[in-house]
């Protein structure tokens, strides 16, 4: 799939799902998320290398880095996957997870899937508990991406 096809394809999107290794499935209540942001690729232009001095000089794209991913979702009494991930990180065991962001089609099928590999937590927080207002308790999970195995392909 070429870049010129992406805007047309994503205009058909209606929502997203998130799959995380070792967590509740994307279709389950405890696996649902309200918002996701990040995960894009950035190139550090000034870190590139130029090979050759003539009209055939080649420039590299420079250093590449993935933007952190942030996901936000409601807390339920059975939802404990992200807290388990956090505790695994603190203990130094099994602290990397693979995360897939799945773009959903109008018919409920999968339109596209981004597979982010070797992600690790950089922040975890809960909505402050306040007995005076009726705000839904949400968890916010921020993670650093190791790499994405299929960002440019379909």
- Which tops the pLDDT comparison, 6 or 131? 131
Distance separating alpha carbons of residues 83 and 127, to the nearest angstrom = 14
pLDDT, tens only, 111-142: 889 999 999 999 999 888 776 777 788 899 99
pLDDT in the model for residue 60:
66
Residue given tokens 């805007």 in the structure block = 7
Distance separating alpha carbons of residues 93 and 91, to the nearest angstrom = 6
| Residue 54 CA from chain centroid, whole number | 41
Q: Is the dihedral of CA 14, 115, 146, 44 positive or negative?
A: negative
pLDDT, tens only, 41-99: 877 665 456 666 777 766 666 667 789 999 999 888 888 888 889 899 999 888 899 99
């Amino acid at each position: 799939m070429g870049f010129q096809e992406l805007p047309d394809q994503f205009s058909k999107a209606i929502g997203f799902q998130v799959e995380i290794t070792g967590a509740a499935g994307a279709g389950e209540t405890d696996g649902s998320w309200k918002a996701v942001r990040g995960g894009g690729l950035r190139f550090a232009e000034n870190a590139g290398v130029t090979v050759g001095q003539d009209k055939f000089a080649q420039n590299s794209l420079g250093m590449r880095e993935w933007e952190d991913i942030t996901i936000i979702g409601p807390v339920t009494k059975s939802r404990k996957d992200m807290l388990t991930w956090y505790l695994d990180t603190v203990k130094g065991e099994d602290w990397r997870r693979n995360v897939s962001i799945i773009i959903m089609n109008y018919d409920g099928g999968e339109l596209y899937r981004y597979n982010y590999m070797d992600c690790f937590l950089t922040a975890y927080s809960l909505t402050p508990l306040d007995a005076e207002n009726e705000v839904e308790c949400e968890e916010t999970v921020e993670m650093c991406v190791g790499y994405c195995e299929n960002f440019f392909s379909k």
